Structure 1
Amino acid sequence: MYPVHIREKSPRRLAALRHAGSFDEIGCTFGQTCQVLEERGLLSQAGCMIAVYWDNPVLVPPEALHSHAAIAVPDAMDIPPPLEELRLTGGRYAVLRYIGPYSGLSKAHQYLVGKWLPEMREIQAEGPVIEIYLNAAMETPSDALVTEICVPLL
């Protein structure tokens, strides 16, 4: 249904804002993250946007979910408040490449965790699930958006 590959991901340094509530509403928090970097003239140094999901939306009610709207940044860059530094450890991940509107991401997540992982006999490791947005929604038609959903593996 969706292409999935197992890959080694490198560690990443992120500038992030905490998001509380439904994962579907993280877009506004991404806007705030970008705005802080833009106001300080740092956005040009930033890399791709990355959502960091700390909770399982199947087990945790939407109002209790927490995540971060983050942007990859170089080690030498200062991270201005209210942004905070997050460090993602690298490691082995199942990576699903999804092409299409963000509204379809939930279905892709369900496929990866509910079908692909069990069929491949892979076990999800501790740590957040991340989404890496490989192109920008402001510059790309919704049917051409490319997102990598990355689940840490044992």
Structure 2
Amino acid sequence: MYEVHISEKPPRRLAALPHTGSFEEIGATFGQTCQLLEERGQLGRAGCMIGVYWDNPILVPPGGLHSHAGIDIPADMAVDPPLEEVRLSGGRHAVLRYKGPYSGLGSAYRYLFANWLPQNHELQGEGPVIEIYRNASMDTPSDQLVTEICVPLL
């Protein structure tokens, strides 16, 4: 149904803004993150957008979910408030490559957690689930959006 592979993800450093609430509403926070970096002349040195999801939406009500809307940045780039530096440790991850509108991510998550992980005898490890956005909704048709869902593994 979906393409999933195991990958060794590198450590990453992000400039990010925190987001509290439904994960589906993080888009505006990404817009603010990009705007701040653009205003500071830093967006050109930044990499891809990365969503960092700290909570399990099955266990935490939508209003209490915590995440970060981040952008991959080089080691020497300054991170000034209100942006926060978020460091991701990397390591072994299950990576599901999803192509399509963001509204379809829920079914990709269900497949990954309910089917792929148990069928492959893998368990979720410590750390956040991240989404790496390989292109952006502002310049890509929704059916061509590519999102990598990355789940840390034990």
Coarse TM-score class (shorter-chain normalised): over 0.9
Output the CA distance in 2 between the equivalents of 1:93 and 1:7.
5
1:17 aligns to 2:11 (yes or no): no
- TM-score normalised by the chain length of structure 2: 0.99
Output the CA distance in 2 between the equivalents of 1:60 and 1:115.
22
Match of residue 47 from structure 2: 47
- Deviation per residue, 1:101-144 (Å, 9 max, x gap): 00001111111011110111100001100000001111110000
- Deviation per residue, 1:28-84 (Å, 9 max, x gap): 000010011011111101000000000000111000100000000000000121001
1:82 aligns to 2:82 (yes or no): yes
1:58 aligns to 2:62 (yes or no): no
- TM-score normalised by the chain length of structure 1: 0.99
- 2:107 partner letter: K
Output the CA distance in 1 between the equivalents of 2:68 and 2:12.
14
Matches within 5 A, 1:78-117: 78-117=78-117
SS at match of 2:96: strand
- Unaligned runs of 5+ residues in structure 2 are none
Percent same amino acid among aligned pairs?
72
Match of residue 149 from structure 1: 149
- Unaligned runs of 5+ residues in structure 1 are none
Alpha-carbon offset, residue 13 of structure 1: 0.4
Alpha-carbon offset, residue 90 of structure 1: 1.2
Output the CA distance in 2 between the equivalents of 1:126 and 1:56.
12
Structure 1 runs, 4 residues or longer, greater than 4 Å off? none
1:130 aligns to 2:130 (yes or no): yes
